[in-house]
């Protein structure tokens, strides 16, 4: 099976702009989670989508949003970018039914740089 | 609240040495899952192992072994006869079974450098 794919791999934006990141999960997986990784804060959970519904949400401002499509692909959007949003954004997929018990499989990440 | 601590920020060893990466967790749930992931320089998190709270058997997979001790809330990872390719950041993670949906809590990671 193909792994989790994320596009684009690299992005450079300026403050105030918005950005959309895409994630395609492993075939058959219905849960997609997003994480932000920074040197200072480490890996932090953003949100999780399952069957096109947000099932869980971390502690991030409303500028961070997401959605999931019927084919389980997911997009994450960040509006009004700030310098502190520069990070590696990782997407993870899992079968979904097991909720907190599933193993998550990660994609290669999108490295976002905000200038 | 869930919490994962990896006290070792960075470790350097010479090839063929054994190395143990420590992981201590906190949870109020009786049913939970622990994970180890490897993050090479490419950035992708690679899944290594998943262990549930009811299975305290140690596990060995090739040069890798894991020691789970509920009494000390620890889930340590040992690499035997380390190799340069083992150089990466290693993360320990915790997921409570009562979670509504997926929400891993990761430790801060341990950067392992294996020198030739």
CA–CA min distance B115, chain A (Å): 23
User: For all residues of chain B together, what is the average pLDDT?
Assistant: 93
Q: What is the pLDDT of residues A88-100, one digit of tens each?
A: 999 999 987 766 6
Task: Give the residue from A56, A100, A111, A112 with the most B CB atoms within 10 Å of its CB, the best one to mutate.
Answer: A100
Residues of chain A with pLDDT under 70: 1, 98-100
- Tell me the pLDDT band of B3, cut-offs 50, 70 and 90: very high
Question: Which residues does B contribute to its contact with A (CB < 8 Å)?
Answer: 32-33, 35, 37, 42-47, 50, 52, 91, 95-109
The whole-angstrom separation of Cα A20 and Cα A22 is 7
Report DSSP state, residue B100: S
The alpha carbon of residue B19 is apart from the nearest alpha carbon of chain A, in Å, by 23
Closest in A42, A56, A90 to B103, CB measured: A56
Give the chain B residue whose CA is nearest to the CA of A54.
B101
CB of A5 within 8 Å of a chain B CB? The answer is: no
pLDDT of B79 above 90: yes
Residue in B45, B96, B103 nearest the CB of A90: B45
Query: Taking CB atoms and an 8 Å cutoff, what residues of chain A touch B46?
Result: 106
Give exposure, B8-45, as e/b (b: 16+ Cβ within 10 Å).
beebebeeeeebebbbbbebeeeebbbbbbbbeeebbb
- In this structure, what token pair is assigned to residue A103? 């193993």
Q: What is the pLDDT of residue A115?
A: 96
Dihedral angle sign, alpha carbons of residues A35, B90, A100, A95: positive
Question: Which of B37, B101, B105 should be substituted to probe chain A, the one whose Cβ sees the most A Cβ atoms within 10 Å?
Answer: B101
Q: Is A88 on the interface with B (CB under 8 A)?
A: yes
Establish if A58 touches chain B: CB-CB under 8 angstroms: yes
Taking only the tens place, the pLDDT of each residue in B80-114 is 999 999 999 999 999 987 767 777 899 999 999 99
Where would I find the beta strands (DSSP E) of B6-109? 10-14, 19-21, 24-26, 32-39, 46-52, 59-61, 64-69, 74-79, 88-96, 105-106
């Amino acid at each position: 099976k193909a792994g989790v794919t994320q596009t684009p791999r690299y992005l450079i934006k300026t403050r105030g702009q918005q950005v959309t990141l895409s994630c395609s999960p492993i075939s058959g997986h219905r849960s997609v989670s997003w994480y932000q990784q920074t040197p200072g804060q480490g890996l932090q959970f953003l949100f999780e989508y399952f069957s096109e519904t947000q099932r869980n949400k971390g502690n991030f401002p409303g500028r961070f949003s997401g959605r999931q499509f019927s084919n389980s692909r997911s997009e994450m959007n960040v509006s009004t970018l700030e310098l502190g949003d520069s990070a590696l954004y990782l997407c993870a997929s899992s079968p979904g039914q097991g909720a907190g018990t599933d193993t998550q499989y990660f994609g290669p990440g999108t490295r976002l740089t905000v200038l | 609240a869930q919490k994962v601590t990896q006290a070792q920020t960075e470790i350097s060893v010479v090839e063929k040495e054994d190395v143990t990466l420590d992981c201590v967790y906190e949870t109020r749930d009786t049913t939970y899952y622990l994970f180890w992931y490897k993050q090479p320089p490419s950035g992708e998190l690679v899944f290594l192992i998943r262990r549930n709270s009811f299975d305290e058997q140690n596990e060995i997979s090739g040069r890798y072994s894991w020691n789970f001790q509920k009494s000390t809330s620890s889930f340590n990872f040992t690499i035997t006869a380390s190799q340069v390719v083992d150089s990466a950041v290693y993360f320990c993670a915790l997921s409570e079974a009562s979670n509504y949906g997926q929400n891993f809590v990761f430790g801060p990671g341990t950067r392992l450098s294996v020198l030739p």
